[in-house]
A and B are shown apart, each in its own frame.
Chain A
Amino acid sequence: MEQLIEIKNLRVDFTLRSGTVRAVRDISLTINRGERLGIVGESGAGKSVLGFSIINLISKPGKITGGKIIFRGNDISKYSYEQMRKIRGNRIAMIFQDPMMTLNPVLTIGTQMKETILAHMKVSNKEAEKICLEKLRKVYIPSPEKRLSQYPHEFSGGMRQRIVIAISLLTNPNLIIADEPTTALDVTIQAEIMDLLLELCETENMGLILITHDLAVVSEVTQRIAVLYAGKVVELGSSKQIITNPQHPYTQGLIKALPQMAEGAKRLNQIPGMMPSLRDMPDGCPFAPRCAALLERCKHEIPTLKELESGTQVACFMREGVE
């Protein structure tokens, strides 16, 4: 399979007066053309920062301090602002959590959509409108001609997110990064939006990075899952493997904590404690203070991702011992 994007040893730091927050610590991931990857983690795990850093949207005091992002053969992390603008919204599009915040409330949908097309493609106004209508039909917006002249507040939450998806599709991107696209929406709407994303990725052969905290959602949509904890990937593998046979104690804990996994027991399995602050990380494995299967070595050394026989990569000393 052809490789679409490769993230190599990426580091993102936020330098604050009170200390350096290391939000992304040495993350390596690859996505092939047309592949769907899920990134799961709790708030503060660094998953959104990872998504933003791919299209270089990290604002000060944050900075990519190391690593490479290779997109179609070029390291885009070194691109200038102008060069990046040609990629952003064109080859790589991003969908954010709250569609009301991403759409401009004082411009019509049509204006906002055409703006994107005219920024990236040499087409006439008429042709741009044609593309808009085509994409709105793709996301199942009824009577798109009428809708083009309406403002965001005239749409419901689910419709707005569809429009955001339509905007991201305008330039036929190779990769879509969706950061919690359905968190602000109801379950029935969430199901619709996820079905839509899945369908579009398949028909357009687009890559998808789906960032979410909901394991069940990613397991339905993506082929591979990366579990993030405190700025590091702790487990990476096929969705099926991660769900049915999780290897890292954190992933195991997350899955066991779901009510549908309680199997009749009244009490839920809980992971004690909480994620350490990104400002002062423990010396060893970041999960060590909450881990039930703690080894002496976990307190001093940071485990790295090792591939198991099943193909799952896991960063845990316990699993190294097994092999």
Chain B
Amino acid sequence: MTAILEIQDVDKHFDISGSFLDQIKFADGKIGLQKTVVKAVNNVTLDIQPGETLSIVGESGCGKSTLARTVMGLYRPNKGKIIYRGDRIDQLSSAKMRPYRTKMQMVFQDPYASLNPRMTVKQTLEEPVRFHNPDLSRLEVRDKVADVMLQVGVDPVWASNYPHEFSGGQRQRISIARALVVDPEFIAADEPIAALDVSIQAQILNLLMDAQDQRGLTYLFISHDLSVVEHISNRVAVMYLGCVCELATSKELFGNPRHPYTQALLSAIPTLGGKKGGHIKLSGDVPTPINLPTGCVFNGRCPHANERCRQERPAQITLESGSIVACHGVEEDRI
């Protein structure tokens, strides 16, 4: 099976050094210019197969949203390639990118911020259809929008209402409808349920899974909620400080986590009726992505770190189980 989307060795760095004056630094008795660069995504290689759900998990600041935005062409990668069905799309102009926009859509975290408050639901949903299919008649557009609204569970009679008249769950349904209305093949969903209540989360997750079944969609699903990720994904990538530390099938990752960070992350999930304590305690905090540690990015907090981990960046190795892990300890069979 050929991948629908390939991410090859992608880096995304942001220069936050500011103006010329802000860059002037005094060091070693000399005045010089110094740039401050946030290394949000580093050497990420992933492939996404048609019809699967690949989830990216990690703590805030680990670069998971940046990666999704880079994939969607909202950011241009500093290095590496993004390949959609065999075509390289990361360097395209916005006009050349347009046909891919109907194939790739995005759902954002906060439905309060991602819907234009001055546009009615109808305007919000009709705009992408008209833009991408200028030949459609007014009636066809209206039917298409009504179809999608029914599918996501928003009654088309509400089409002339504004976003503020809807609850959070309904708004998220509308943003999903906006993504579905151009018949995409691939959807990047960036924390689509994080802003919703528990009883509404299940509704939205079911909606996403139903849409996948009906339309054969492929998802890149970003979340920090590990129990949700376990439920809906085929494969899971764990990110830490912009690097993928483990990539495995959902069953393998949750059943037999190999990377020490994955193990710590999993042990931190609160379980229903579980006993407190017994969490793997990570010492210290996540370092800033401005000064990445040398060697393995996780070495400062890893309980198994040794000299090699502090010096040499671990390469991704494929284990017998098919999991991909970047860890010297696993490679040397210490962990």
Contacts and interface: CB of A to CB of B under 8 A. Distances in A.
B285 A156 contact: yes
Interface in A243-268: 243-244, 253-255, 257-262, 266-268
Contacts of A190: 268, 270
A187 B231 CA distance: 17
Interface residues of A, number: 44
A257 B202 CA distance: 6
Contacts of A189: 59
B323 to A, nearest CB: 21
A186 B271 contact: no
A76 interface: no
Looking at A217, A253, A259, A261, the one whose CB has the most chain B CB atoms below 10 A away is: A259
Given A186-B60, A188-B265, A220-B275, A270 B270 contact: no
Residue from the set A187, A216, A270, A272 with the largest chain B CB neighbour count within 10 Å = A187
A187 B209 contact: no
A190 B205 CA distance: 24
Nearest to B301: A188
Interface in B47-106: 59-60
B273 A219 contact: yes
A194 interface: yes
Given A220-B270, A221-B276, A268-B231, A42 B197 contact: yes
Contacts of B201: 257
A268 B206 contact: yes
A158 B206 CA distance: 33
A260 B273 contact: no
B264 interface: yes
Contact of A187 (B59, B199, B200, B285): B59
A42 B274 contact: no
Contacts of B279: 191-192, 195
Given A216-B271, A259-B230, A260-B271, A186 B224 contact: yes
A28 interface: no
Interface residues of B, number: 39
Nearest to B288: A156
A268 B205 contact: yes
Given A254-B199, A271-B202, A259 B276 contact: no
Interface string B198-229: 11111101100100000000000000101110
Contacts of A268: 202, 205-206, 231
A243 B275 CA distance: 13
A274 B169 contact: yes
A98 B254 CA distance: 30
A220 B274 contact: yes
A192 B200 CA distance: 28
A255 B273 CA distance: 11
A244 B197 contact: no
A42 B230 CA distance: 23
A188 B198 contact: no
Q: Is the interface of A mostly helix, strand, loop or mixed?
A: helix
B60 to A, nearest CB: 6
Contacts of A254: 198-199
A240 interface: yes
B255 interface: no
A272 B203 CA distance: 8
B199 A253 contact: yes
Interface string B273-309: 1111101011001100000000000000000000000
A270 B271 contact: no
B193 to A, nearest CB: 11
B136 interface: no
Contacts of B224: 186-187
B200 to A, nearest CB: 7
Contacts of B116: none
Contact of B274 (A219, A262, A270): A219
Given A191-B279, A259-B230, A186 B59 contact: yes
B231 A243 contact: no
A221 B232 CA distance: 28
A270 B279 CA distance: 30
Contact of A216 (B265, B274, B282, B286): B274
A112 interface: no
B260 to A, nearest CB: 12
B274 A187 contact: no
Contacts of B198: 42, 213-215, 254, 257-258
A244 B272 CA distance: 9
A104 B232 CA distance: 41
A216 B202 contact: no
B167 interface: yes
A257 B230 CA distance: 14
A262 B265 CA distance: 21
A191 to B, nearest CB: 4
By Cβ-Cβ distance, the 5 closest A-B pairs, closest first, are A259-B231, A257-B202, A191-B268, A216-B270, A186-B59
8 contacts: A187-B268, A195-B279, A216-B272, A221-B276, A243-B272, A255-B272, A262-B231, A274-B199
Given A156-B285, A194-B276, A216-B227, 8 more contacts: A186-B60, A192-B279, A195-B279, A213-B197, A240-B273, A259-B231, A267-B209, A274-B167
Interface of A: 42-43, 156, 158-159, 186-192, 194-195, 198, 213-217, 219-221, 239-240, 243-244, 253-255, 257-262, 266-272, 274
